Structure 1
Amino acid sequence: MPVLDIILWPFKTTAFTFAGTTTSWGEVAGFVTGALCVWLVARQNAWNWPIGILNNLAFLVLFATSGLYADSGLQVVYVVLALYGWWAWLRGGVQHTPLPVSRTTRAQWVWLLAAGVAGTLLLVWVLTTFSNSTVPWADAVTTVLSLLATWGQTRKKVECWWLWIAADVIYVPLYAYKDLWLTAILYVGFMALCVLGLRNWTKSLRADERDRVMAG
């Protein structure tokens, strides 16, 4: 059997059918690894990064076979960012200590806004010019929001959770439109986990800020 057929087999094989819509084993794998990854991020557990890489590989194929080309290509970038994030969480703090939670600075927000607008416009042009995407704007906006959120996640910026929530609000109807119902349900769960992550990270940030005030 050719290697490509082996890779695509889970995404062509039905795991179950619900309300007339089939769900592949590949989508099930993306569901399980994705849920575990976000739960670990919310708990500031560095094991989220290798689990996340497995999730990226599953979604890379799933989205490519569903016509979500920007989201598929995004998974490659996610893998690179995951390798960096894994190192940063463990060794990216002062004197190579674990990285603490921090706030996004005003200068960083300006950079993120500029990158977000430019990245969205560029992706829309690429998708409309070089692909048969039926959802170029939604695909582009969610891709850019996810990239910005992932950067914040690698640096433990508490506001990254708001970016994830914004992306998930668009992802849920987008995946439903593409008949990726299990993935749409997963992203509803992601929003709940994002709220948990925002709560936990904010609590950790405030505790660190109190400790610094008491120490100073």
Structure 2
Amino acid sequence: MIGNLLGLGALALGWRRSVVSWPVQLLSGLVLIAAYFSGHVPGLIGKQLIVIAAALWGWSRWQHSRRETGEIAVRFATWRERGLLAAATALGTAAVAGLFLAVPELSWNPWADAYIFVGTLAAMFAQGKGWIEFWFAWIAVDVVGVPLAFSSGYSFSGLTYVIYFVLVLLGMRSWYLRTRTARPATDTVLQGATA
């Protein structure tokens, strides 16, 4: 429960483009590792370790962006970037599902788990890049994650995913509006002066 709540907090902070989103995501991963360790679920521990590595990468990207520009810049990915992200997600899902099928102890639902896991990594990658598509990746994860959690008897996780979904919609709107804000007049003057 604590790990899931921290995950919600990380998403809400991501909505606000706060660098703190990433350390909260790290803490969520550590709490979930402790829970999975006590439950003797090694496959879920491995997944969280990879999520933690992705969070460390995203954190360093956002810190770099903030140092360079003073803010976390957000934008739409190019068509090429979208295509590469979609292809990597599809290939990654197939590869991870293959691993889960080969080692059944890692997952009780190989294809759905692989889709959610790889989709989460794709979302974190896009978030680290500051792409608005990050929100669409989370929606794609929630479409599978919510029904799976409820059907597997994990009602709290299912409810958490529903809240994630609402935060994702609000965050997507916020980031979209951020790309549409007009540049301050000083930027226009400076651009004219350097032209």
Question: TM-score band, normalised by the shorter chain?
Answer: 0.7 to 0.9
Of Structure 1 and Structure 2, the greater strand share is in 1
Calculate the aligned-residue CA RMSD, in Å: 2.4
Say yes or no: does 1:189 pair with 2:163: yes
Give the corresponding residue for 1:55.
28
Alignment of 1:55-204 (within 5 A): 55-62=28-35, 65=39, 69=43, 72-92=45-65, 95=68, 97-132=70-105, 133-204=107-178
When the two structures are superposed, what TM-score results if normalisation uses the length of structure 2? 0.84
Range with bigger deviation, 158-167 or 126-135: 126-135
Q: Percent identity?
A: 27
Preserved CA contact (<8 Å) 2:54 2:121: no
Relative to structure 1, is the Cα distance of residues 158 and 66 closer, same or farther in structure 2, using a 3 angstrom cutoff?
Answer: farther
Give the corresponding residue for 1:19.
none
Structure 2: gaps (5+ residues): none
Preserved CA contact (<8 Å) 2:17 2:72: no
Deviation at 1:189, TM superposition (A): 0.1
Structure 1: gaps (5+ residues): 1-27
**Length, aligned pairs only:** 186
Deviation at 1:61, TM superposition (A): 4.7
When the two structures are superposed, what TM-score results if normalisation uses the length of structure 1? 0.77
Q: Give the counterpart letter for 2:183 in structure 1.
A: D
Range with bigger deviation, 89-98 or 34-43: 89-98
Deviation at 1:103, TM superposition (A): 1.0
Cα distance in 2 for residues equivalent to 1:127 and 1:201: 35
Q: Secondary structure at the match of 2:11?
A: helix
